Amino acid sequence: MAKEIALTTKVQQGTPYQLDPNQTLKAAQALVSHIQKEQKRLETASEKKDLLATGDSDDETQEKVPVWLILGTKKFIQDQKRLKPSKIALPHPFGSPDARVCLITADPQRAFKDLIAEPTFPASISSRISRVIGITKLKAKYKSYESRRQLFAEYDVFLADERIVTFLASTLGKVFYGTPAKRPVPVTLTAGLKTQKGEDGKKVKTGVKKGDTAVGTPQAVAKEIETALNAALVHISPSVTTAIRVATADMAPKDISENIEAVVEGLTAKFVSKGWRNVRSLHIKGPNTMALPIWLAEELWVEDEDVLEEKWKPKAFVREEGPSKKKRKPLYQRGSRKSRRRPRSRNRTSPSQMT
């Protein structure tokens, strides 16, 4: 008799759930090396010369190659607060300082345009914002698929007021949300305002009159925008797999590994329910590369109660005793109209043949 081998064993004292920096650094080095070799191979194999390419096209092409962190969980994340788009600050931002930014705000948009145009608003941030558009105007002007594609190609980064960011998926459609490249990053445009509980128990902004638009202070809002531009967008999907862009291929492997560690720490602390216990796997990959594992869970369950103490055995089938059911009679025995009809003879003779 063959010896039975247990596929999983219950952990009695837990598992050291943490990311190994050495493993992350090795995976980052291998991924960057593979992407660089693949780019050189494609350049060598290409016989046609790109007439539109400039002298520094290699660096520009490399900067556009993203590095993704693939998060795998053991159970679906169903909490709506965790599924709301958010961001995690990165120690080494990969955004371009010359990126064109489009800011999507709540209505009315004029209040936020005036905020950015104030003299006290930092010029280093206001100069990067190319356009400010309200949610109502966005719905009215960009209804067609072609107009949304034009908006998608016109700007490099899209920021959105956190109060209306959940409504943008139905407004912008699959042009923006079919790919995680340019999904709107939430930003708090009411930063700097204090909140207090009103008479009805709801939180209200202090210093804002009834009917006025809640707008934050220039310094606080500028800091929020700067943080959003230098952060990684986290949009947890209601499934067991989520992709997060954490770096680009032109960065040093050490910087990539530090970004990965910061994102993983933020995910397990804020976004993934049950934290590390619900994490099944962590991989990094490029757009056209294999996924390299940097962490794999030893157990396939979240709670220890999900594991049986004894070996599972199938229950024996016992036939329930009871009154036997009557068999259903055939159709011709139920007194239906079809059974009362006289069957038509196929060899019916005509009156002429009878004589």
Tell me what percent of the residues of the chain surpass a pLDDT of 70: 72
> Is 90 exceeded by the pLDDT of residue 318?
no
Q: Phi and psi (nearest 5°) for 316?
A: -70, 140
Q: In sequence order, which ranges of 168-322 are alpha helices (DSSP H)? A: 168-172, 174-177, 218-229, 253-266
Look at the block and give the residue holding tokens 């009834």: 210
What pLDDT score does 245 carry?
A: 93
What pLDDT score does 59 carry?
A: 43
Confidence of residue 62 (pLDDT cuts 50, 70, 90): very low
- Provide mean pLDDT across the span 112-131: 91
User: pLDDT per residue over 183-206, tens digit each?
Assistant: 899 999 888 877 666 666 666 666
What pLDDT score does 275 carry?
A: 86
Q: Choose the weakest-confidence range: 78-82, 90-94, 157-161, 330-334.
A: 330-334
Q: Choose the weakest-confidence range: 125-129, 267-271, 296-300.
A: 296-300
What pLDDT score does 314 carry?
A: 75
Contact indicator for 87, 185 with CB cutoff of 8 Å: yes
Query: From CA 73, how far away is CA 275, in angstroms rounded?
Result: 10
Long-range contacts of 327-331 (CB under 8 A, 24+ apart): none
Query: From CA 163, how far away is CA 160, in angstroms rounded?
Result: 8
Query: From CA 45, how far away is CA 47, in angstroms rounded?
Result: 6
Give the count of beta carbons closer than 10 Å to the beta carbon of residue 69: 23
What pLDDT score does 342 carry?
A: 59
Q: Choose the weakest-confidence range: 38-42, 105-109, 220-224, 313-317.
A: 313-317
> Is 90 exceeded by the pLDDT of residue 339?
no
User: pLDDT per residue over 244-267, tens digit each?
Assistant: 999 999 999 999 999 999 999 999
Q: Which of 46-60, 147-161, 234-248, 325-339 has the highest mean pLDDT?
A: 147-161
Kindly state the DSSP code that residue 192 receives in the 8-state scheme: T
Look at the block and give the residue holding tokens 């229950």: 315
User: pLDDT per residue over 65-113, tens digit each?
Assistant: 899 999 998 888 777 777 788 899 999 998 888 889 999 999 888 999 9
Confidence of residue 7 (pLDDT cuts 50, 70, 90): very low
Q: Choose the weakest-confidence range: 32-36, 114-118, 235-239.
A: 235-239
Confidence of residue 60 (pLDDT cuts 50, 70, 90): very low
Contact indicator for 32, 249 with CB cutoff of 8 Å: yes
From residue 253, how far is each of 85, 130, 256, 258, 310 by CA, in Å?
27, 33, 5, 9, 47
What pLDDT score does 133 carry?
A: 93
- Sheet strands (E) in the chain: 66-73, 86-89, 101-105, 129-134, 157-161, 185-187, 195-197, 203-205, 231-234, 241-248, 279-285, 292-296
Structural domains in the chain, CATH included, are 18-31+64-83+236-304 (3.30.190.20), 96-196+210-231 (3.40.50.790)
Tell me what percent of the residues of the chain surpass a pLDDT of 90: 40
Confidence of residue 5 (pLDDT cuts 50, 70, 90): very low
What pLDDT score does 132 carry?
A: 93
Burial of 268 (0-12, 13-18, 19+ CB in 10 A): buried
Burial of 84 (0-12, 13-18, 19+ CB in 10 A): middle
Would strands 203-205 and 195-197 be described as parallel, antiparallel, or unpaired? antiparallel
What pLDDT score does 52 carry?
A: 52
The neighbouring-strand residues paired with 72 are 241, 281
Give the residue, 160 or 323, on which the prediction is more confident. Answer: 160
> Is 90 exceeded by the pLDDT of residue 284?
yes
- Please give the span between the terminal C-alpha atoms of the chain, in angstroms, as a whole number: 87
Kindly state the DSSP code that residue 55 receives in the 8-state scheme: T
Q: Choose the weakest-confidence range: 24-33, 54-63, 337-346.
A: 54-63
Look at the block and give the residue holding tokens 């590369």: 289
What pLDDT score does 17 carry?
A: 74
From residue 252, how far is each of 69, 92, 156, 243 by CA, in Å?
16, 10, 23, 21
Mean pLDDT score across all residues of the chain? 80
- Provide mean pLDDT across the span 158-169: 90
User: The sheet that has 185-187: what strands, in order across it?
Assistant: 129-134, 101-105, 157-161, 185-187
Query: From CA 270, how far away is CA 86, in angstroms rounded?
Result: 10
Name the residue type at position 305.
Answer: E
- Provide mean pLDDT across the span 231-254: 90
- Provide mean pLDDT across the span 334-341: 55
